[in-house]
Amino acid sequence: MVSLKENINLLSKIATSNQHGENSPYFDGWKAYDQDPFHLTGNPNGVIQMGLAENQLSPDLIEKWIVKNPKSSICTEDGVDQFKDIANFQDYHGLYEFRKAIAHFMGKVRGNRVTFDPDRIVMGGGATGASESLMFCLADPGDGFLIPTPYYPAFDRDLRWRTGVQLVPIICNSSNEFKITQEALESSYKNAIESNIQIKGLIVANPSNPLGTTMDKETLKTLLRFINDKNIHLVCDEIYAATVFNTPDFISISEVLEEMEHPINHELVHIIYSLSKDMGLPGFRVGILYSYNDGVVSCARKMSSFGLISSQTQYFLASILSDESFVEDFLRESSRRLAKRHKFFTQGLEKVGITCLASNAGLFVWMDLRKLMKKPTFDEEMALWRLIIHDVKLNVSPGSSFHCVEPGWFRVCFANMDDQAVDIALERIHAFVKKGKENKVATTKNRKNKPFQKKLRLSFSSRLYDETMLMSPRTMSPHSPFARSPLVKAST
Amino acid sequence: MVSLKENINLLSKIATSNQHGENSPYFDGWKAYDQDPFHLTGNPNGVIQMGLAENQLSPDLIEKWIVKNPKSSICTEDGVDQFKDIANFQDYHGLYEFRKAIAHFMGKVRGNRVTFDPDRIVMGGGATGASESLMFCLADPGDGFLIPTPYYPAFDRDLRWRTGVQLVPIICNSSNEFKITQEALESSYKNAIESNIQIKGLIVANPSNPLGTTMDKETLKTLLRFINDKNIHLVCDEIYAATVFNTPDFISISEVLEEMEHPINHELVHIIYSLSKDMGLPGFRVGILYSYNDGVVSCARKMSSFGLISSQTQYFLASILSDESFVEDFLRESSRRLAKRHKFFTQGLEKVGITCLASNAGLFVWMDLRKLMKKPTFDEEMALWRLIIHDVKLNVSPGSSFHCVEPGWFRVCFANMDDQAVDIALERIHAFVKKGKENKVATTKNRKNKPFQKKLRLSFSSRLYDETMLMSPRTMSPHSPFARSPLVKAST
């Protein structure tokens, strides 16, 4: 057997470079969960997975539909007549019925205020594969894409790893609820040019992962004017479009594009979509690239060959998504359940003074634990994260893994578990905070003998933090460094 | 809207380079078919698709199994209990039951003479995606892979387009039935080194597409010794393994690897597999990379994210492939049907003196039409191909699109149609040859007035060729330039 060193010579730079980004705490947390997964009866003290943005609140709706529609699958007695044709179907355009149904669904999710052309629907292997193909179409190795922080950690893998594209951060922070500004865009662009990086585009996620917020119309217009002025691409990742559970409603870039007062070059605009989040079907690997650029549609379609959606899955989805009445009911009910869960979870956090960025979408909250840290550093954030993973036994994801520039934020997923697991997670958080309070008293008394920082990374019992962490924003002292934080109670 | 020229600046080199190889006649033939597709009743004079290597002879066996096994799909009333867990499953290792079942299936297809480890099964988006991921793991842009000619045209897209890898031909020809020799390997390797191309490996298809032949043990040993001596990779594309319908039996590289007398570095060996051909399921996009190299398994598994197999499909396949008795019956019956079709088709060709390379596998034959060409040039081959597409209305694929160095060979697929379509295809070929005979007499008489070459590309009626084309090899004059051709009647 060859050694690792020999393998480095045998394999590619891509294989040996670790540019896949899977060494981030984001993925480490998953490993901790994998080693000791919570189960209500089987392993009630295990780690609860709150690092996975899955939508598991509404599969029962789809299950009911399946039972009523035995013809929707080629693997049933009722549907098997279609088996031969569908199992053989490998055209990289995709089943026309599938493209038509998903284009219509995309319009519905966007309030029917915009329509999508089935002939611009390009299939990809999940949003992951669709995003990578788009990068291959738009940029050469070394080219840069601007991206607002914080952003989805796996973009480092999806967009950069095999394409050689660079991601250039646009710094956003809590002073304006992490919104993208014209100034931040220009500054980031200017810095890139000065560093000799050719900027080919801007990529944004709307609704945002990890923020759970949606962009307002003015921001979207700012983005369009910016990319049009610079003659660079705009990629909008809208895979959480139907997870919007509260006002304001979701506004797609496609809607704003059509109503801009001054002309925007449509060929610069591309949308990434998926059914993983909105329908809770990540296993089905439905990635969609919708581009207003004919050259991109044509090229990306050829690239579809590397990640076509299984025709078995296309057939099923064409059938279910074409059921107007089901789709309407599903979208309404899914949104209602997400709202309910979000409200329950954020109110549970607020009981012990933990707040989150106000949000109206997504399968997660952006939780502010800055008050739990003695110093606003990423070392402290990591120490706190280890405590949460190993002592509190919740797998949440630290802000640093999302390239957030402010330490102390954590993404916490709330839609991938049942009510009982949420109850237990909240109980654990309550106990953690309560214990912190008690320890604070004890530790203050013994401070001279036992400097608290020594054991900071080992266990919660030795951890001290400001009392402000136990207070809701409304009761915080106006002199607290966090008093001017943008955080407000998440409304539902 | 921007012009194409402007798009060239906006898009990547990959998007604007045409390196996808889809401008080859291989794909052009498909377009001709698409514009005028044959249908027994709806369009009986349309183009018959013989350019598509699909296995449509045995879907009825799978259909019967489906009806008997309603639990095998998560989209049935009987299987819906599994819906939630499976639709959510997105682990890039794949469902363990799926990996186990396909590893076992791979062993069965190889006569149970070798076993495969489920933990080395890596999923890809079809063989297309799996092959590309392997290239990304093994080679940097500019690196070369040796490949024997003729080879599958879409390798130019799959292996090169986005990876930047170069394919360096190993010249094979009919003098030894297109077999790979030690000399050809060494010569190709030496030429590449002299051209400053770093060779990272050798890729072969066994059974061969387009030849329909399998490699003997001695050849496989030669390949292993060669790559081991050079310390380069060996990639074996075995996606046609279960299409072997006649002796000799299929021998996998994995079998030979285990019985080599002198030690071979296993970490250099990788297998590409798929269910598209062997089970006739191209729509399901099941690509498998099986590597003996831990580093490649680990890296390619991360790349699985770009082309995971739909979990709905994994679940169904885990179920059907785990049915030992079904699998055995299926493999036996599928092979029997392929043998029968192959025999019928090749005997039909022989009736008018057309022979094929002797073959024992695949969904196609490698048809020798060298005798139909006045000169052994690729211009003549293309003229003949256009005649076949437009006049005879059969979409076959010219050898040049497979990078064959000898003009006059054509790949003809025989398993993607029903018996009636085969009858009609053979009738058309018979008529074509008969008309050629008659025209030969007429044209010879009028030669001085109407030079035949002028209309060569326009219609069959003005085409002349040697009478030898109408003779079987056994009756050819020993002085004919084709008398020493390797072609023998395809045995069944």
Least confident of A127-131, B352-356, B450-454: B450-454
- The answer to whether B283 faces chain A, any CB pair under 8 Å, is yes
Those residues whose C-beta lies under 8 Å from the C-beta of residue A173, and which sit 6 or more positions away, are: A405, A406
Q: What is the pLDDT of residue B105?
A: 98
Distance CA B490, CA B492 (A): 7
pLDDT at B460: 32
Q: Give the count of domains, chain B.
A: 2
The answer, yes or no, to whether residue A122 has pLDDT greater than 90, is yes
Residues near A8 by Cβ (< 8 Å), separated by ≥ 6?
Answer: A16
Would you say residue B93 lies in a domain? Answer: yes
Assess A138–B contact: CB distance below 8 Å, yes or no. Answer: yes
Residue A225 shares a structural domain with residue A117: yes
Instruction: State which of B306, B327, B348 marks the end of a domain.
Output: B327
What confidence tens digit (pLDDT) does each residue in B60-73 have?
999 999 999 999 99
CB-closest option in B20, B76, B80 to A302: B20
B474 touches chain A (CB under 8 A): no
d(CA A104, nearest CA chain B) in Å: 22
Structural domain includes residue B154 = yes
pLDDT digits (tens, 9 = 90+) for B156-182: 999 999 999 999 999 999 999 999 999
Cβ–Cβ under 8 Å, residues B245 and B229: no
**What average pLDDT does the segment B132-151 reach?**
98
For residues B237 and B222, what is the distance between their CA atoms, to the nearest angstrom? 17
Mark whether B106 and B34 lie in a shared domain: no
The phi and psi torsions of B287 (rounded to 5 degrees) equal: -110, 140
pLDDT band at residue B440 under the 50/70/90 scheme: low
Cα of A40 to nearest chain B Cα, Å = 16
% residues pLDDT > 70 (chain B): 88
> Which residue of B89, B305, B334 is the best one to mutate when testing the A interface, meaning the one whose CB has the most A CBs within 10 A?
B305
pTM for this model (two decimals): 0.89
pLDDT tens, position by position, A179-202: 999 999 999 999 999 999 999 999
Query: What rounded mean pLDDT belongs to chain A?
Result: 88
User: Cβ contacts (< 8 Å) between A289 and chain B: which residues?
Assistant: none
Among B311, B327, B343, residue at a domain's last position: B327
Q: Which residues of chain A lie closer than 8 angstroms to B71, CB-CB?
A: none
- On whether both A173 and A283 belong to a single domain, the answer is yes
Distance in Å, alpha carbon of A247 to nearest chain B alpha carbon? 28
Option in A59, A125, A302 nearest B308 (CB): A125
A283 vs B310: CB contact, 8 Å cut-off?
yes
Known catalytic residues of A are: 152, 237, 239, 277
Cα B48 to Cα A332: distance, rounded to the nearest angstrom: 49
Q: Verify that B82 and B37 share a domain, yes or no.
A: no
Interval B235-261: pLDDT, tens: 999 999 999 999 999 999 999 999 998
Choose, from B227, B239, B251, B288, the residue flagged as catalytic. B239
Q: Could you tell me if A45 and A108 lie in one domain?
A: no
How many CB atoms neighbour CB B339 within 10 A? 15
Render pLDDT for A37-52 as a digit per residue (tens, 0 to 9).
999 999 999 999 999 9
Q: Taking CB atoms and an 8 Å limit, are A11 and B137 in contact across chains?
A: yes
pLDDT surpasses 60 at A1:
no
For residue A202, give the nearest of A175, A248, A249, A165 by alpha carbon. A165
Q: Which of A392, A469, A471 is nearest to A428 (CA)?
A: A392
* Residue B122 contacts A, CB cutoff 8 Å: no
Cβ-nearest to B140 among A7, A13, A60: A13
User: With an 8 Å Cβ cutoff, are A76 and B75 in contact?
Assistant: yes
Give the nearest partner residue to A11 out of B87, B138, B284, using CB atoms.
Answer: B138
Q: In this structure, is residue A332 part of a structural domain?
A: no
> Does residue B254 fall inside a structural domain?
yes
Are residues A138 and A25 both part of a single domain?
no
Which of B339, B265, B322, B336 shows the shortest CA–CA distance to B295? B265
Answer yes or no: do A10 and B56 touch at CB < 8 A: no
Last residue of a domain, one of A304, A327, A350: A327
CATH number for the domain that contains residue A38: 3.90.1150.10
The active-site residue, picked from B100, B200, B277, B393, is B277
Q: For residues B23 and B73, state if they share a domain.
A: no
- A264 in the same domain as A137: yes
Question: Does B97 score more than 80 pLDDT?
Answer: yes
Cα distance from B281 to chain A (closest Cα, Å)? 5
pLDDT at A240 over 90: yes
Give the bridge partners for A204, in sequence order.
A236
Q: Residue A208's domain is classified under what CATH number?
A: 3.40.640.10
pLDDT at B1: 47
Residue B34 lies in a domain: yes
* Pair A149, A50 in one domain: no
Portion 347-376 of B in contact with A at CB < 8 A? none
Low-confidence winner among A94-98, A480-484, B78-82 (lowest mean pLDDT): A480-484
- Residues contacting residue A341 through CB under 8 Å, at least 6 positions apart: A57, A414, A415, A422
Which residues, numbered 41 to 60 in chain A, qualify as contacts with chain B under a Cβ-Cβ cut-off of 8 Å? 54, 56, 59-60
Amino acid (one-letter) located at A444: T
Using CA coordinates, name the residue in chain B closest to A23.
B302
The most distant pair of C-alpha atoms in chain A lies apart, rounded to whole Å, by: 79
Q: Is the residue at B446 inside a domain?
A: yes
Residue pair A369/A412 in contact by the 8 Å Cβ criterion: no
Residue B445 in this model has a pLDDT that exceeds 90? no
Residue B459 backbone class (left: φ over 0; alpha: ψ -120 to 50; beta: rest): beta
Asked if residue A356 is part of any domain, the answer here is: no
**A-B C-beta contacts closer than 8 Å:** 264
With beta carbons under 8 A apart, name residues in chain A contacting B137. Answer: 11-12, 14-15
State the average pLDDT for chain B. 88
- Cβ pair B371, B468 in contact under 8 A: yes
Q: Are residues B383 and B432 both part of a single domain?
A: yes
Domain containing residue A159: 69-327
Choice between A65 and B24, residue whose per-residue pLDDT is larger: A65
Per the DSSP assignment, residues forming a β-bridge with B203 are B235
B277 catalytically annotated: yes
CA-nearest residue of chain A to B140? A12
Q: How far is B390 from chain A (nearest CA, A)?
A: 23
Q: Confirm or reject contact between B268 and chain A (CB < 8 A).
A: yes
- Residues B391, B459, single domain; the answer is yes
DSSP codes, A403-440: T-SSTTEEEEE-SSS-HHHHHHHHHHHHHHHHHHHHHH
Instruction: State the CB neighbour count (10 A cutoff) for residue B278.
Output: 24
Say whether pLDDT at A475 is over 50. Answer: no
With respect to residue A343, please indicate whether it lies within any of the assigned structural domains.
no
Q: Residues A257, A108: one domain?
A: yes
What is the Cα–Cα distance from A402 to A153, expressed in whole angstroms?
A: 5
Partners of B59 on chain A (C-beta within 8 Å) are 83-84, 87-88
Q: Which of B59, B86, B313 sits opposite A83 (nearest CB)?
A: B59
Mean pLDDT on A157-168 = 96
Q: Is the pLDDT of residue A414 over 90?
A: yes
In the predicted model, is pLDDT for residue A491 greater than 60? no
* CB interface of B with A, residues 312-351, below 8 Å: 312-313, 316
pLDDT at A445: 56
Total residue count of chain A as it appears in this document:
492
Q: Specify the DSSP element, H or E, that contains B270.
A: strand B269-274
Flag whether pLDDT at A488 surpasses 60: no
